[in-house]
Each structure stands twice: as structure tokens, then as C-alpha cells.
């Protein structure tokens, strides 16, 4: 599922937090040993501020209180989704310039929609082949990771981590490293663009079978149920991967043993932020990030908030719990990064969001706001019919919201 365009919520994509240590003026010329860039997928300022009082020390609340906080932002493009959003954040360019205009695009040679980072020449390692995001070949602009590598003459390391491949690839750019979670195998993987063989620390992490360890467990409430606003069971919420609509949510995916559906259930639950943080901390140790004066970059994207917002809505108990878990995970990640860099004076932390999200249409309708859910396929077919009637010939429309690709013959 993909992000709602920011124009639906003017203050969306609004969260930008930065925390840097207060240093004497001469020290500011020295770059930090480690820069930690965190993206919370699908987090708007409205959602952030609703939860602010519930954040614990060391996480989002501390960053908002101690760092520079920019609650309002505007992007000058319509498709504020995971792919374009992450690419814009790390390149500083708009989609027309960096080339990532959506989460997918129409390959006119095949007539099919393909992932925005699809690349047949660089398949994913240690996972089944298929139509996957696997390389940054379509990214046309220089990224922050690229600049770190070039600035340091490739002595500095730039690594990205995310449950979503398109988020990890965008943040890694062409010269960094990208690692993402594969629901197909329940392990952390990458593509041959970045490496031809997994390093020992990744192999060791995958051998722990952490995704398998969540099989048979449940995603329960992190705090007392009295602290959650609204109702848990709402008829318009989704129920993917046999997780159900109410807490606790089983993570077995309806399977008798760990498999693709149970890995998907974990990935689409608030629990996944714990797994992302475990792998990010293993990345710091395995790559020895922040251990010398050559600047390193670690980019981490938490995707659970996006998946949960789409399935249950941003006002759900699930969305509240997912953000609370990200807050705790972020605190642990910052602590690990600070320790690796040799103290706060050597660490820069930036937290932002690729986009926000509006309430699900049925939620709005239940509150008296005129709204309706529209099928993208039905809308594309209707648009094609109207265009054909107006201009003649056969015009076929394929939708990849909010984009419409036209093809056909006159």
C-alpha cells in the first residue's frame, strides 16, 4: 500500500527533527563521526503532536524538546509516497529531477507496471527472483549517501536499513549499501548492485532466525488499554494476514509454521520496528560505523507506521501503538549510535518523514465528512472509456495513483 498525497493534508510530510550536541564554535567545522538519518514512513505533524505526551525519554519526545523542530513543511509535487518521498529527502531534488515519480511506473516496452527500482540486471540476493525493487539504476540525482562516499573518497561508509526495499534503495543511492527485509524468506537481503556476497555479520544476523522467533507470538498493546484513544474494533479497519481487527493480533499469518504469510504479518505489525532496530544496531557494529574521524552515514526508515496507517487508519489503536513502539525503538537506536560514535559530540541525528496520511474514507464518512473509497482499476477503466469516446480510437489507462498512464492506438 502507498502513501496518501500530501495535498490531502496541507501540513503533511511535516515532521523534521534534528538533534546536535552543543559544541564550542571551533568544533562545528569538524563533521560528526556518525550521522543517523531516520525516516518515519507516513508520519504527519498532526499524528506526531497527538502522541507527544506519551513519548518516553530518549526518543521522539526528547528530539522534539532538545533539537530543532520544524513542524510545517510543503512539498511541490503530488506523489508524496514512499519512493518519491525518500528520494526527495536524500537528494533535495523533486521527482521530475531525480526520476522517482512513484512507487511504480509503466514500462512501455512490456505494457506492465513495474516497481520504481526494478532492475533485471541486478537481482536480489538469497531470495526468489521476481518483480522487486532491487537497484538505484533509475535514481538520476546524487544522494546524501553518494555525497558522503565521494566527500571521503570512499573511506566513509553509507548504509541504509528499512523493511521496505524502495525506502532502503532510495536512501543508499548509487554508492552506499542498502539492506531490506524480504517477506519471501524472512531475512535481510540486498541486490547484486550493492554486493555479490553477504558480509559475515549479515549472515550471522540472518542465522539467528529472528523473524521465525516471532511466529506464534502476538502483537499486543504496549501500554494499558485505558491510555488508547477511540475504539479498538472499528468495522472499516482491515484484517490482513489473518491478524484480525482487534488486539492482540496474531503473527502466524494463518500458517502452521513460519512462512511467507507469517513474515508479512510481522512486517505489517508494530512489532517490526523492534526487528528493524535490531538489524540497524547490528549494522553499526558490523560495519564499525562512527569508529574514526571519517564521517559515516546510517539511514534508517521505519515502515510499520505506514503499513499500520493504511490498514487500520491513523486514529486507530494500532497506529497509536505502532508509533509508541517506534519511539522506543528510536531511543534504543540513538543510544547505540551515540555509544558507537564515542559520545553525543560525535553524533548528528535527523528524524523526518516521507509523507503523512489522511483518515481512511469510511472513518471520515462515519464522522459526517463526505468521502468514498474508489477502486483505482474501476477509475482507470472509466477514464479510458471517457477519453476514447471524446478523442476516438482506443485509449487504455493504467493507474498508479495519482498518476495515469495512457496507451492505445487511434
For residue 169, is pLDDT > 90?
Answer: yes
Cα separation, 166 vs 10, whole angstroms: 25
- Note the pLDDT of residue 215: 98
Cα separation, 305 vs 310, whole angstroms: 9
* In this structure, CATH architecture of domain 6-366: 3-Layer(aba) Sandwich (3.40)
Cα separation, 3 vs 224, whole angstroms: 29
Q: What share of the chain is helix, strand, coil (3-state, %, to 5)?
A: 40, 15, 45
Percent of the chain scored above 70 by pLDDT?
A: 92
State the CB neighbour count (10 A cutoff) for residue 220: 12
Lowest mean pLDDT among 71-80, 268-277, 307-316, 382-391: 71-80
Determine contact, residues 166/137, Cβ cutoff 8 Å: no
Under the banding of pLDDT at 50, 70 and 90, the label for residue 362 is very high
- Note the pLDDT of residue 409: 61
Task: Please state the rounded mean pLDDT for residues 290-315.
Answer: 97
Task: Please state the rounded mean pLDDT for residues 211-219.
Answer: 98
- Note the pLDDT of residue 12: 36
For residue 22, is pLDDT > 60?
Answer: no
- Note the pLDDT of residue 19: 43
Task: Please state the rounded mean pLDDT for residues 217-226.
Answer: 98
At 114-156, the pLDDT tens digits run 999 999 999 999 999 877 899 999 999 999 999 999 999 999 9
Domain-by-domain residue ranges, the chain? Answer: 6-366, 376-409
Under the banding of pLDDT at 50, 70 and 90, the label for residue 400 is confident
Task: Please state the rounded mean pLDDT for residues 46-51.
Answer: 96
Under the banding of pLDDT at 50, 70 and 90, the label for residue 29 is low
Task: Please state the rounded mean pLDDT for residues 302-322.
Answer: 97
Cα dihedral 51, 67, 155, 187, rounded to 10, equals -10
Task: Please state the rounded mean pLDDT for residues 216-231.
Answer: 97
Task: Please state the rounded mean pLDDT for residues 385-401.
Answer: 91
At 241-262, the pLDDT tens digits run 999 999 999 999 999 999 999 9
Give 120: exposed, middle or buried? Use CB within 10 Å, 0-12, 13-18, 19+.
exposed
Give 410: exposed, middle or buried? Use CB within 10 Å, 0-12, 13-18, 19+.
exposed
**What is the reported pTM?**
0.92
- Note the pLDDT of residue 11: 36
Amino acid at each position: 500500500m502507498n502513501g496518501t498525497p500530501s495535498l490531502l493534508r496541507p501540513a503533511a510530510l511535516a515532521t523534521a527533527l534534528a538533534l546536535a550536541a552543543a559544541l564550542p564554535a571551533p568544533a562545528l567545522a569538524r563533521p560528526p563521526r556518525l550521522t543517523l538519518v531516520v525516516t518515519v514512513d507516513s508520519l504527519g505533524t498532526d499524528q506526531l503532536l497527538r502522541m507527544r505526551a506519551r513519548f518516553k525519554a530518549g526518543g521522539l519526545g526528547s528530539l522534539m524538546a532538545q533539537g530543532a523542530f520544524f513542524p510545517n513543511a510543503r512539498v511541490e509535487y503530488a506523489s508524496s509516497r514512499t519512493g518519491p518521498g525518500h528520494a526527495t529527502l536524500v537528494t533535495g531534488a523533486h521527482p521530475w529531477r531525480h526520476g522517482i515519480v512513484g512507487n511504480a511506473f509503466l514500462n512501455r516496452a512490456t505494457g506492465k507496471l513495474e516497481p520504481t527500482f526494478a532492475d533485471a540486471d541486478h537481482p536480489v540476493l538469497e531470495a526468489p527472483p521476481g518483480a522487486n525493487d532491487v537497484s538505484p539504476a533509475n535514481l538520476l540525482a546524487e544522494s546524501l549517501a553518494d555525497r558522503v562516499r565521494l566527500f571521503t573518497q570512499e573511506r566513509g561508509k553509507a548504509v541504509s536499513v528499512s523493511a521496505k526495499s524502495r525506502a532502503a534503495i532510495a536512501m543508499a543511492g548509487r554508492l552506499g549499501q542498502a539492506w531490506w527485509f524480504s517477506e519471501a524468506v524472512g531475512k535481510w537481503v540486498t541486490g547484486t548492485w550493492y554486493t555479490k556476497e553477504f558480509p559475515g555479520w549479515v549472515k550471522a544476523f540472518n542465522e539467528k532466525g529472528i523473524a521465525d522467533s516471532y511466529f506464534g507470538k502476538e502483537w499486543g498493546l504496549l501500554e494499558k488499554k485505558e491510555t488508547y484513544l477511540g475504539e479498538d474494533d472499528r468495522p472499516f479497519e482491515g484484517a490482513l494476514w489473518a491478524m484480525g481487527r482487534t488486539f492482540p493480533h496474531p503473527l502466524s499469518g494463518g500458517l502452521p509454521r513460519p512462512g511467507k504469510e507469517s513474515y508479512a504479518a510481522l512486517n505489517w505489525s508494530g512489532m517490526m520496528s523492534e526487528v528493524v532496530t535490531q538489524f540497524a544496531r547490528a549494522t553499526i557494529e558490523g560495519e564499525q560505523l562512527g569508529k574514526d574521524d571519517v564521517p559515516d552515514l546510517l539511514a534508517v526508515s521505519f515502515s510499520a507506521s505506514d503499513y499500520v496507517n493504511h490498514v487500520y487508519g491513523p486514529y486507530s489503536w494500532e497506529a497509536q501503538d505502532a508509533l509508541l513502539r517506534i519511539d522506543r525503538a528510536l531511543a534504543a537506536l540513538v543510544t547505540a549510535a551515540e555509544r558507537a560514535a564515542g559520545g553525543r559530540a560525535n553524533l548528528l541525528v535527523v528524524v523526518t518523514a516521507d509523507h503523512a496520511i489522511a483518515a481512511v474514507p469510511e472513518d471520515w464518512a462515519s464522522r459526517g465528512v463526505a468521502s468514498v473509497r474508489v477502486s483505482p482499476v474501476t477509475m482507470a477503466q472509466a477514464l479510458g472509456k471517457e477519453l476514447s469516446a471524446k478523442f476516438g480510437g482506443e485509449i487504455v489507462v493504467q493507474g498508479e495513483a495519482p498518476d495515469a498512464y495512457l496507451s492505445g492506438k487511434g
